[in-house]
């Protein structure tokens, strides 16, 4: 009788706590042993010279999510989860967006149907609450939290999504009652509308003006306000996609005062600046996302936030639209004003290689911080731990095998998503996830897609 289904032999296993030379024994999709001389297995994988790390958990992605009439998301659950696997990510947490006048159950039915039989890696939905009625917060949410939907996102901006302060307080107290975790998109809606109108009146409609319509104070003020509302209700929150020092420092100050505010940043705030939106013609539309990329000092501030722990989470906020497409960035209205350019950039596959190369290889963060920021902290924050997010006995065998020395020039064709560009085209990175496995089965092996569409499962979560 064989001891294991698979042994990954000879690699260096990295977790958020340790780096160790050992083999990994896998049985029934879970990690069953860590050590040497583990015995016999149906299959042995040679990982000499490789890093064996927890597969990434991307806790902020938008897949098959409508944004405006006539605009189509570039990635559905098939292409999005395929791209995740090529980038070393084994669990993605997309959003299930409630429309106004829609129940959360109806929304979930629609999104589960979109994801059914489509996913290459595991998924777990966050809810987006756009219509926080008494029955949504008092009846639906408590039941859904018990069923494992333990987190939700709210918006302080965007027509049809933005909640008023009173509504935010109601959502936060429902989160406190149910033990769920609220993610906040923090930008001041009135500031954005005022500046957008003004820029348009002045004929400043090119994609670059998107960045000027959503300045740092709009993000800082909303971050401060979200934290204040959470303090009033006495509940933890996550401030997502932080782009600059001022919003970062609001989070740091709140935590120094004893609050529990989790910060998240994303590759676009480490690698892009507002000047990327200045490209010739409409090129800048490729980089339109919210909050917008800022400047070099903001990039440094975000790196410091990751290194110091103000940001516990590094996610992609993958929200892809094709560029050269009338249903994407170059829609007819988008050409008339930045107001109509769909917000979002792709990043689900590039997320980990960017942090590994720019972070670990360049000495900004340690390997342990890399694992914490890309996997373990997501699992702990959102109730997936210890099933996911580590290489430990009993955990799902969700593993990325990395060649830490491979030099790669990022090009869009390496990422396997549904978009037609990457904001990181031409970026040279060191280190690449050569193979990715979910629950003990390879999805990508030595750069080839070998997994089955539909193998990815939806995972119910505990309270984080
Ligand atoms: N901003 C968001 O809030 N979500 C998706 C993409 C974006 O740019
Ligand atoms: Zn957002
Ligand atoms: Zn988002």
CA-closest candidate to residue 152, choices 219, 73, 221, 235: 235
What residue owns the CA closest to ligand 1's atom 2? 290
| Contact by Cβ (8 Å): 89, 351 | yes
Ligand nearest to the CA of 346: 1
Give residue-wise pLDDT tens across range 260-278: 999 999 999 999 999 999 9
Give residue-wise pLDDT tens across range 100-125: 999 999 999 999 999 999 999 999 99
Give residue-wise pLDDT tens across range 16-32: 999 999 999 999 999 99
Q: How confident is the model at residue 1 (pLDDT cuts 50, 70, 90)?
A: confident
**Does the C-beta of 289 come closer than 6 Å to ligand 1?**
yes
**Does the C-beta of 319 come closer than 6 Å to ligand 1?**
yes
Residue 146 resides in a domain: yes
Assess whether pLDDT exceeds 90 at residue 354: yes
End-to-end CA distance of the chain: 39
CATH number at residue 416: 2.30.40.10
Share of the chain above pLDDT 90, in %: 99
Q: Which of 346, 361, 376 is the last residue of a domain?
A: 361
224 and 357 assigned to the same domain: yes
Residue 306 resides in a domain: yes
Give me the mean pLDDT over the 230-249 stretch. Answer: 98
**Does the C-beta of 436 come closer than 6 Å to ligand 1?**
no
**Does the C-beta of 60 come closer than 6 Å to ligand 1?**
no
390 and 307 assigned to the same domain: no
| Contact by Cβ (8 Å): 107, 127 | yes
Residue 174 resides in a domain: yes
The number of distinct structural domains making up the chain is: 2
In angstroms, rounded to a whole number, what is the distance separating the alpha carbons of residues 435 and 374?
16
CATH number at residue 224: 3.20.20.140
CA of 353 to the centre of ligand 1 (A): 21
Assess whether pLDDT exceeds 90 at residue 281: no
**Which atom of ligand 1 lies closest to the CA of 288?**
8
Q: Which of 361, 394, 422 is the last residue of a domain?
A: 361
CA-closest candidate to residue 357, choices 421, 298, 432, 436: 432
293 and 145 assigned to the same domain: yes
| Contact by Cβ (8 Å): 397, 321 | no
356 and 415 assigned to the same domain: no
**What is the pLDDT, as a whole number, of residue 464?**
76
Residue 71 resides in a domain: yes
Give residue-wise pLDDT tens across range 42-81: 999 999 999 999 999 999 999 999 999 999 999 999 999 9
303 and 395 assigned to the same domain: no
Residue 408 resides in a domain: yes
| Contact by Cβ (8 Å): 117, 150 | no
Nearby residues for ligand 3 (ion, Cβ within 5 Å)? 317
CA-closest candidate to residue 238, choices 99, 23, 60, 52: 60
78 and 172 assigned to the same domain: yes
243 and 327 assigned to the same domain: yes
252 and 206 assigned to the same domain: yes
Give me the mean pLDDT over the 187-215 stretch. Answer: 98
Give residue-wise pLDDT tens across range 430-459: 999 999 999 999 999 999 999 999 999 999
Residue 129 resides in a domain: yes
**Does the C-beta of 50 come closer than 6 Å to ligand 1?**
no
Residue 32 resides in a domain: yes
Q: Which of 192, 241, 329 to mutate to test the pocket of ligand 1 (most atoms within 8 A of CB)?
A: 241
The C-alpha angle with vertex 341 and arms to 338 and 344, in degrees rounded to 5, equals 120
Domain hosting 150: range is 56-361
196 and 172 assigned to the same domain: yes
Assess whether pLDDT exceeds 90 at residue 279: no
Q: Which of 303, 327, 361 is the last residue of a domain?
A: 361
pTM for the complete prediction? 0.98
Share of the chain above pLDDT 70, in %: 100
What residue owns the CA closest to ligand 1's atom 1? 290
89 and 32 assigned to the same domain: no
**Does the C-beta of 186 come closer than 6 Å to ligand 1?**
no
Residue 376 resides in a domain: no
**Which atom of ligand 1 lies closest to the CA of 67?**
5
Mean pLDDT score across all residues of the chain: 98
40 and 67 assigned to the same domain: no
86 and 218 assigned to the same domain: yes
Assess whether pLDDT exceeds 90 at residue 301: yes
Assess whether pLDDT exceeds 90 at residue 395: yes
């Amino acid at each position: 009788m064989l001891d294991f289904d698979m042994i990954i032999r000879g690699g260096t296993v990295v977790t958020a706590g340790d780096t160790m030379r050992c083999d990994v024994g896998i049985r029934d999709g879970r990690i069953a042993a860590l050590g040497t001389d583990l015995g016999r297995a149906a299959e042995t994988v040679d990982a000499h010279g490789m890093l064996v790390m927890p597969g990434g958990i991307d806790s902020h992605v938008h897949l098959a999510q409508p944004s405006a009439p006539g605009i189509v998301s570039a990635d559905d659950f098939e292409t999005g989860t395929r791209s995740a696997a090529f980038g070393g990510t084994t669990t993605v947490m997309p959003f299930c967006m409630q429309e106004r006048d829609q129940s959360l159950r109806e929304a979930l039915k629609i999104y589960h149907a979109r994801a059914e039989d489509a996913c290459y890696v595991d998924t777990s939905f966050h809810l987006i609450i756009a219509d926080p009625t008494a029955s949504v917060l008092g009846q639906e949410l408590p039941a859904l939290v018990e069923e494992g939907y333990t987190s939700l996102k709210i918006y302080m901006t965007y027509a049809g999504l933005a909640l008023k302060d009173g509504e935010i307080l109601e959502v936060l107290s429902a989160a406190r009652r149910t033990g769920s975790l609220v993610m906040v998109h923090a930008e001041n809606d009135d500031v954005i509308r005022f500046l957008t109108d003004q820029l348009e009146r002045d004929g400043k409609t090119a994609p670059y003006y998107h960045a000027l319509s959503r300045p740092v104070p709009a993000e800082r003020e909303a971050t401060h306000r979200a934290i204040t509302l959470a303090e009033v209700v006495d509940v933890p929150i996550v401030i997502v996609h932080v782009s600059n020092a001022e919003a970062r420092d609001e989070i740091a100050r709140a935590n120094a005062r004893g609050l529990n505010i989790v910060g998240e940043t994303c590759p676009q705030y480490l690698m892009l600046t507002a000047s990327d939106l200045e490209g010739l013609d409409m090129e800048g539309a490729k980089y339109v996302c919210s909050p917008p990329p800022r400047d070099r000092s903001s990039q440094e501030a975000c790196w410091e936030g990751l290194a110091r722990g103000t940001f516990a989470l590094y996610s992609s906020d993958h929200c892809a639209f094709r560029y050269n497409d009338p249903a994407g960035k170059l829609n007819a209205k988008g050409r008339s004003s930045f107001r109509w350019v769909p917000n979002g950039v792709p990043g689900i596959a590039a997320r980990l290689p960017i942090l590994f190369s720019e972070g670990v290889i360049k000495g900004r963060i340690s390997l342990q911080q890399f694992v914490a920021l890309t996997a373990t902290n997501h699992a702990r924050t959102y109730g997936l731990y210890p099933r996911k997010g580590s290489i430990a006995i009993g955990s799902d065998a969700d593993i990325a095998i990395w060649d830490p020395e491979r030099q790669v020039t990022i090009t869009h064709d390496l990422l396997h998503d549904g978009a037609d560009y990457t904001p990181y085209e031409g970026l040279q990175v060191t280190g690449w996830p050569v193979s990715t496995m979910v629950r003990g089965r390879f999805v990508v092996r030595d750069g080839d897609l070998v997994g089955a569409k539909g193998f990815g499962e939806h995972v119910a979560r505990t309270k984080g």
